[in-house]
Amino acid sequence: MKFESVQKKTVILNPAENMARKTIPSEIRIDPLTRRSSRICHFMKLKWEKPDFDKLISGTEKMCPFCPDKIMKITPCFPPEIVEEGRMISDDMVLFPNIAPYDSIGAVATMGSRHYIPMTEIEPERIAKAFRLAMDFFRRFRDTGNEESVYNIINWNYMPPSGSSIIHPHLQVFSSSFAPNLMRNELDAAKIYMETSRTNYWDDLVKAETADGRRFLGKIGRTTWLTAYAPLGVAGDVLAVVDGVRCTLELTDDDLSDIAKGLTKAMAAYDKMGIYSFNMNFFTGAETDDHTRFHLLFSPRTFFNQALATPDIGAIQRLFNESVCMAFPEDIRDMLKSEW
């Protein structure tokens, strides 16, 4: 396992100190699996101002398609060959087709009837229950024998900085035979890794990170939690890897509860930095992909400028796919560790 990096230095004449020379360090990190690069630079204190939530949320429930007074009237239904009853229901959670699908089989699952749940009030039981509803959908879809039932993915965009236009907590749930970009890169690279080294990359990563400890957060059940070595997010990413699991459908009920617990720990820790939004994606292999392990990424999102709604993604990330992280992942680990 090679954790490569390239050190850089920038010299400026600093007006705050009579134009004295000042050296600013930065680092380019290479992801050990895909060789994707990520820049640790633009250092700043990881502290943001939260918005006035009352003002932000006020009135949004009136137009919200996921609130209980509208959901059963406004949301679409699956055709009977996919979900006989049209929508899948688990108490106050509803799963229905995504009206703006990314692929042929796309669903949305609401995480209950409550319109706005502050990040630190999202209970692990609620997350696990929503995951279970999505898992039921994946299983039912698999049992139809449809060829799209290969990669079963749950994504979560929580609050507007993450790209969500709806406040009401919900998951994106989809099955596809086509792995999305980064997931596909990882699967291809993990396959080559296994052919070359005769071991599983993810097992090796968990072993190396657990022994090293600098990015290790903790282990819950058989899920290991780390800060990512070459993160995608400006405030780092939390990575969770599940031992012995190749694909989403191999997750047990206990795994789902453990993952939910870990996610709420990440939320509690980032909340202290003023973060109130995140993306979360499942990364899964196909059923027989022995070269991979199920993992997920939790990536905190923020506005650089709250008043202007300046996104945390600029040209370097958007068009070069080059990430910028404003603190070392080892330091971010120290900031998050107290929750584990």
**Binding stretches for Zn ion (CB under 5 A):** 64, 66-67, 115, 168
Q: Which is nearer to Zn ion, 127 or 324 (CB)?
A: 127
CB 77 within 8 A of CB 96: yes
Q: How far is the CB of 84 from Zn ion (least distance, A)?
A: 27
CB-wise, 24 or 74, nearer to Zn ion? 74
Written as six digits, the tokens of 143 are 């049992």
45 SS3 class:
coil
Q: Residue number with the shortest CB distance to Zn ion? A: 64
Beta carbons of 204 and 1 less than 8 angstroms apart: yes
d(C-alpha 265, C-alpha 278), whole Å:
13
Task: Name the minimum Å distance from CB 126 to Zn ion.
Answer: 15
- Rounded to the nearest angstrom, the gap between the alpha carbon of residue 128 and the centroid of all alpha carbons in its chain is 15
Cα–Cα distance, 109 to 96 (Å, whole number): 7
Could you tell me the smallest distance in angstroms from the CB atom of residue 65 to Zn ion? 8
Residue (97 or 169) nearer to Zn ion, CB? 169
Whether the Cβ atoms of residue 59 and residue 77 lie closer than 8 Å to each other: no
Residue 224's beta-bridge partner residues?
219, 241
Q: Measured from the CB of residue 69, what is the shortest distance to Zn ion in angstroms?
A: 9
CA–CA–CA angle 62, 63, 67 (5° rounding): 75
CA distance linking residue 19 with residue 10, whole number of Å: 15
Tell me the Ramachandran region of residue 309: left when phi exceeds 0, alpha when psi lies from -120 to 50, beta otherwise.
left
Which of 111, 81, 36 shows the shortest CA–CA distance to 321? 36
Complex with Zn ion: residue 64 or 206, whichever CB lies closer: 64
Residue 61 or 331: the one with the smaller Cβ distance to Zn ion is 61
Nearest distance in Å: CB 104, Zn ion: 27
Minimum separation from the CB atom of position 77 to Zn ion (A): 19
Closer CB to Zn ion, 61 or 271, in the complex: 61
